[in-house]
Amino acid sequence: MRVMGVDPGLTRCGIALVESGGGRSVTALDVDVVRTPASMDLADRLLLVYSAAVQWLETHRPQVVAVERVFAQQQVSTAMGTAQAAGVVALAAAQHDVPVRFHTPSEVKAAVTGSGRADKAQVTTMVTRILGMQTRPTPADAADALALAICQCWRGPMDDRLVAAQAKAEELARVHRARLKAAHAAAVRAGQ
């Protein structure tokens, strides 16, 4: 499976592509960081991130895009920029019929290091080891994008099965409730 991992951000947006093989085998195919200057107009910065995402989607043809889920941060302006960047990446993926999966930072850390509280250095070290890279990916946004893609490779199939199982369970429950309702209605009619 080819996965495009995206660590969204306006100043630096990490983008990576990995391919999973048998078991937990994962290979890095490409990684980059899209940079936009803070002095640039917001709309133009978002256009640069969007255009980079489109180029990656069209060049690499991933089967899924893994994006870091935005969570509450100390600075609202940082959270807003991160959310906006994530939004344009998700839009680009949707326009190319590529599913998007969101992972929280703690899910990603737990997937690659075994601890949801790992720091950036630990994540970078484990990404380097997992992918068998000779040098550490820099900046941290590149390592985070690779970590997101690895997380999707390892957790995604299980998460998809859980979602499918939950949908099936909900459908079975709906059918069961409909049968109970019909049986109750039939019993009421028979008692009249």
Q: Which residues of the chain, if any, have pLDDT below 50?
A: none
pLDDT, position 102: 96
Identify the DSSP state of 119: -
CATH architecture of 2-156: 2-Layer Sandwich (3.30)
Identify the DSSP state of 118: -
Q: How far apart are CA 113 and CA 97, in angstroms?
A: 31
Q: How far apart are CA 74 and CA 82, in angstroms?
A: 13
Question: Which sequence positions are flagged as catalytic?
Answer: 7, 68, 141
pLDDT, position 78: 81
